[in-house]
Structure 1
Amino acid sequence: MSGFKDQIFIFLMLGIGVLGLCVCIMIPFWYSTVKIESDLWNNLRTNVYEHYFELKQSLIDRLKCIHSQNEISISKNNPSNKSFTYKNYWKYIWRIFVYFIVVALFSIINIAYLYKKCTDYLSYRPEIIKELIRGQFFLNLIAIASTNSQLERWGLPLANYIPNEYFLVNSLPTFQNYIKNVERSRLILRDHKYLPILSEKFKRLFFEQENDPNWYYFDYGAFAAEDIINFDSYSVTYSNLDTNFWLFWIVNLEESARTYRDFSIEIDGYSQSVIEDQVKIITMAFVVFAMSSGFIYFLLYFQFFRKEKHYLRKINSIMKIIP
């Protein structure tokens, strides 16, 4: 779990690094573009201020010569020479801000979703193994109780050979309690939230008859359906089994307990492979995210700032030659 968190942290830091690199590359373009535009407006103001009186006198002369106006009333106000601060940089800043927010949100949501999925899978694995071990344990208890019941009929109860053995309490309520514990484990294992980390064999044996309310069978495939023992009917008549049926019952119990044991071993490796696949998806998502961020940057922002700079430089050059 700690290794997985370390991987997520590394991906997150790499994502922030890529985003920071794009922003760092973008800031010089933004600054130079704003400076060129600011210089443009300063040159325009300088030209207006320096040529104000010359332009004013030219207009007066034109009015006198062409329009024969000798009485000319023109404001005596001189152009303002106050310091000018360029404030049009916000149209560039909001673009950088939007880029940063969109990319950051995408990466956070993507990684958070996949991280939650993987952590859920990691928490499901011990829950499944726990219930498989529980089922195996109580199946063994049922086998012992069944064996003891049959031996008592032959006058050879196990209690004579294993004194004070707790598991040899031979009563119908105790036996039914064992059955309920097995069924409880089965119901928990059939929770659909576990499906993503279960193998196809596991799904087939535990879920193929989930819509049948009377399906309380021990065995999950080793025997034909008509030969599988039903919990409810057996829980009432278990002490009256004949020898042949008892032997079949014990074999069936052993097979079922073995199935639980095998799945408890298998689920560990299979779930691990599922989680590793999710980590690969996270890695791929990060790579796609990084490539998309770079593509968006060079396609939109880099080209935008480059064209803006080129356009403003041309205007600035023209302004310098206009009197």
Structure 2
Amino acid sequence: MFHLVNSADLARSIDSEKRSNIYNLTRDFGYFKYTLNEIKNLREYILSDYNDWSYCSSSSIVTENVIPVWIFDPSPHIEKFNFYDEVGIFLKHGNNLVNMIAQNKTYSNVDARFFGLNSFGYTFEFTHGAMSGLVDCEVNRVKETDTKITALIFVGLGLLAIFTGILIGYSILMARSNDNFWNFVNQSSQISFFYLRESCLERLSEVHGVNYSKDNNIENHYPKIKRYYRKIHSKLYIKYIWRISIFLAIASCYYFTLKFSLYDQCETYLINRPKLLLNLLARRVLLSRMSVFARDIGTSSYLRWIPNSYGLASSKLEFSTSSEEFKLSNHELRSKDFLKLLSDDLKTGWFETIRTDDYYLHLGTYVAANIIYMEAKYISVTPANIGTVIAYSNYIGNETALQETFGVNYDIVDQDSKDTIKSELYKLIYMTVIFSSALILLYIFFYHPFIYSEKCWLSKLKLLMSIIKNSDDLISEKL
């Protein structure tokens, strides 16, 4: 979008130069051809990458004829095109203008007028609105993803809580069963003592002829058994619960750290990145618009230098609006959310100093942008004279340098923000690996030995139960 607006600025500057013979008024003619080549690349990019953002409703401008465009053949009228065809028409008029000037053909300002009318007004507003819609679509997509991730995390925590509750309940039941078993063993051993005593006395009497007085009635001894018998109430379940609690604490810590620390930060970056890039693009577009409207305002004052000139009727209003938006856009770059996406070197170049021989950019692009805002204001309000023309020529040179710096900054910010988001994603991966490794080590050195010991204990318990069962069978046979 910037190159479309910038091409209009260049085309109108070339038009003014051609009709006024003021050859030092604009940038190098080659820059206009460079811009046309960038527009050509944009046209190819539109089709090649369309599928990447076709899910957004605003992307319909690429395939549907909804963009109003002024056409001058055979007479001025408005037609609607899709974005791809609109860019093609820009290229057509741009090449016409280049060929006309390069081959010294009879000059006509129809092509320059095409750029002037279609890079602003309804066409610009419609395209800018679609781009803002794409940014909003991307932001909403990130938020929808965050909602899904939040829901999945809480579902995971909920399932973890349910299974933990089941395990704790099972641990308590198992502890009670263990208590019942040992109570049974305790009681059975005391009762079985009298059966064993009876057998011993009987053998003494029958085999060895030794008689002892005995009271073998178990009911007579049962009060003694009850008096010395105490029910076992162990707290075996505690050793299970605190081990389960350790796993629950680690898993919960992982989920909450994932969501409320790392992912929320990553989400903030994903939301602010397209906004930051749109802001940088808007600065470049607004800078070109300021240049066009500042010249139009001046054009209306020194018609004797630029004959047959044309200007937009609302140039003063448009300039005022664009300059204020430019100033606001420049200040928005100081937002903390935006600064987090930038490298330290880039922040230094924006707000402190740039190593350059150009004094205009020496104090950083933020200060340079404010200076050019004031220069544009001066040109727009100062009555035309030769000093105004010189001031405008200087302004164009400064704007060219700033636009080039903005272009370099845009590419750097694009890469810096990607690297920042990648670093956050790597943190997510590292954290997942660390927590997973911690759980594996915890199982190997903590849970597995415990499970193994419990398994051995159950084997011994099973053996004890078989002995008790065999003893009961023998006693039953004796009885």
Q: TM-score range by the shorter chain?
A: 0.5 to 0.7
Q: Check whether the contact 2:270–2:421 (CA below 8 A) recurs between aligned residues.
A: yes
Secondary structure in 2 aligned to 1:254? helix
CA distance in 2, matches of 1:221, 1:184: 26
Q: Do structure 1's residue 146 and structure 2's residue 290 form an aligned pair?
A: no
The reply to whether residue 235 of structure 1 matches residue 372 of structure 2 is no
Kindly state the Cα deviation for residue 260 of structure 1 after the two structures are TM-superposed.
3.3
Q: What is the alpha-carbon distance in structure 1 between the residues aligned to residue 378 and residue 346 of structure 2?
A: 30
Specify the alignment match of 2:190 in structure 1: 48
User: For residue 71 of structure 2, what is the aligned residue in structure 1?
Assistant: none
CA distance in 2, matches of 1:256, 1:159: 30
| Structure 2 counterparts to residues 73-84 of structure 1, below 5 A | 77=223, 79=225
Q: Give the 3 Å change call, closer, same or farther, for CA 119–76 of structure 1 in structure 2.
A: closer
Equivalent of 1:179, from 284, 302, 323? Answer: 323
Partner of 2:277: 129
Cα deviation, 1:165-189, whole Å, max 9, x if unaligned, reads 356x2x4x65444322111001111
Matching of residue 255 in structure 1 with residue 255 in structure 2: no
Q: Which structure has more RCO (C-alpha within 8 Å, separation ≥ 6)?
A: 1
Corresponding residue number in structure 1 for 2:432: 286
Cα RMSD (Å):
4.9
| 8 Å CA contact retained: 1:121, 1:275 | yes
**Is 1:205 aligned to residue 353 of structure 2?**
no
Residue in structure 2 matched with residue 68 of structure 1 by the alignment? none
Task: Give me the identity figure in percent.
Answer: 16
The 8 Å contact of residues 379 and 392 in structure 2, kept in 1 or not, is answered as no
How far does the alpha carbon of each residue in 1:65-90 deviate from its partner, in whole angstroms, 9 at most, with x for none?
Answer: xxxxxxxxx9761646x9x9987442
Give the Å deviation of 1:105: 1.1
Residue type at the aligned position of 1:105: S
The Cα shift of 1:288 comes to 0.5
Say if 1:138 and 1:182, in contact at 8 Å, map to a contact too: yes
1:101 corresponds to: 248
* Structure-2 separation of matches of 1:204 and 1:242: 33
How far apart are residue 316 of structure 1 and its match?
9.5
2:358 counterpart SS class = coil
Is the 1:37–1:312 Cα contact (8 Å) retained in structure 2? no
- For residues 286 and 226 of structure 1, the distance between their equivalents in structure 2, rounded to whole angstroms, comes to 45
Distance apart, 1:233 and its partner CA: 6.7
What amino acid does structure 2 have at the position aligned with 1:51? F
Query: 1:101 Cα deviation (Å)?
Result: 1.8
Aligned partners of 2:289 and 2:322 also within 8 Å: yes
Structure 2 match to 1:223: 358
Matches of 1:284 and 1:158 in 2, distance apart? Answer: 65
Structure 2 residue ranges without an equivalent (≥5): 1-137, 201-219, 363-367, 472-479
TM superposition score normalised by structure 1: 0.65
Cα distance per residue 1:225-249 (max 9 Å; x no partner): 5996464476246525443332121
What is the rounded CA distance, in whole Å, between the counterparts of 2:452 and 2:183 in structure 1? Answer: 19
Structure 1 residues 233 and 133: alpha-carbon distance in aligned structure 2, compared to 1, 3 A threshold: closer
SS in 2 for 1:51: helix
Query: Displacement of 1:54 after TM fit?
Result: 6.4
User: Aligned equivalents of 2:422 and 2:293: distance in 1?
Assistant: 42
The answer for the alignment partner of 1:63 in structure 2 is none
Name the amino acid aligned to 1:235.
Answer: K
SS class of match (1:281): helix
1:149 touches 1:157 (CA, 8 Å); kept in 2?
no
Evaluate the alpha carbon distance shift between residue 156 and residue 77 of structure 1 in structure 2; reply closer, same or farther with a 3 A threshold: farther
Distance 1:157 1:122 in 2: 51
2:293–2:319 Cα contact (<8 Å) kept: yes
8 Å Cα contact 1:145/1:175 also seen in 2: yes
Q: For 1:132-153, what per-residue CA distance to the aligned partner results, in whole angstroms no more than 9, with x for missing partners?
A: 2221222112211332344445
Give the paired residue count: 282
Deviation sequence 1:117-162 (CA, Å, 0-9, x none):
1111110011112212221222112211332344445425879444
Write the letter of the residue equivalent to 1:301. Y
Partners of 2:338 and 2:251 lie apart in 1 by: 31
Q: 1:285 to 1:232 in 2, by over 3 A?
A: same
Which secondary structure state, in structure 2, belongs to the residue aligned with residue 197 of structure 1?
coil
Q: Deviations over 1:241-266 (max 9, x none)?
A: 44333212112123323433444444
Match of 1:191 in 2: 335
Contact 1:222 1:255 in 2 (8 A): no
Partner AA of 1:92 in structure 2: K
* Pick aligned residue for 2:267 from 101, 119, 125: 119
